[in-house]
Amino acid sequence: MESPSRAPSALDRRGALRLLAAVPLVAVGAAACGSGSDAPDPLIAVARAAKADAALAAAVARAHPDLAAAAAEVETARGAHAEALRREVDRLDPPDPDAPPSVPEPGPVRPPADTSAAAEALRTAVDGARTRAAELVPGAEPYRAGLLASVSASCASLLEVLG
């Protein structure tokens, strides 16, 4: 039986080593150039929305005792989302200690006076957050995509809690 013949390689050993040595230089150059955009980090808007949703949920819980349990779940989860997203934003762009926070606190929130309107406001906010996070997943780096997908899935679960 004949041994299988090797196909001639288009890249010899030295060529492969040169190519591998050049990869880090290309990666550094691409990172230095960036996207050419000064657009804000898209996670900042998602984190702001999470903080706003947590504040809305806290206000709804105070104003509507019959919604307090479900609103408390939303407040806890969306507060955790805001914190995780803020940490990721700050990881990539460490904040200046003298600058305002990367994700500002929301202003005062007044929940709807009607219980059904308050419940609907929470559902609308959480559903919007689910959609926004899911829309960002395809274009995000792997870790961020996982974080955004987790936020979206958690919001889908919160919608079940809100009924």
Which helix (H) or strand (E) segment holds residue 117: the answer is helix 115-136
Residue 19 token pair: 């190519």
Whether residue 137 contacts residue 149, with contact meaning beta carbons closer than 8 Å, is answered with: yes
> What is the mean pLDDT of each successive set of 10 residues along the chain, which is 163 residues long?
51 53 44 56 96 97 97 98 96 87 86 96 98 97 97 97 93
> What's the pLDDT score for residue 4?
53
Exposure string for 120-142, b = 16+ CB within 10 A, e = fewer: ebbbebbeebbebbbebbeebee
Strand ranges, E, within 9-98? none
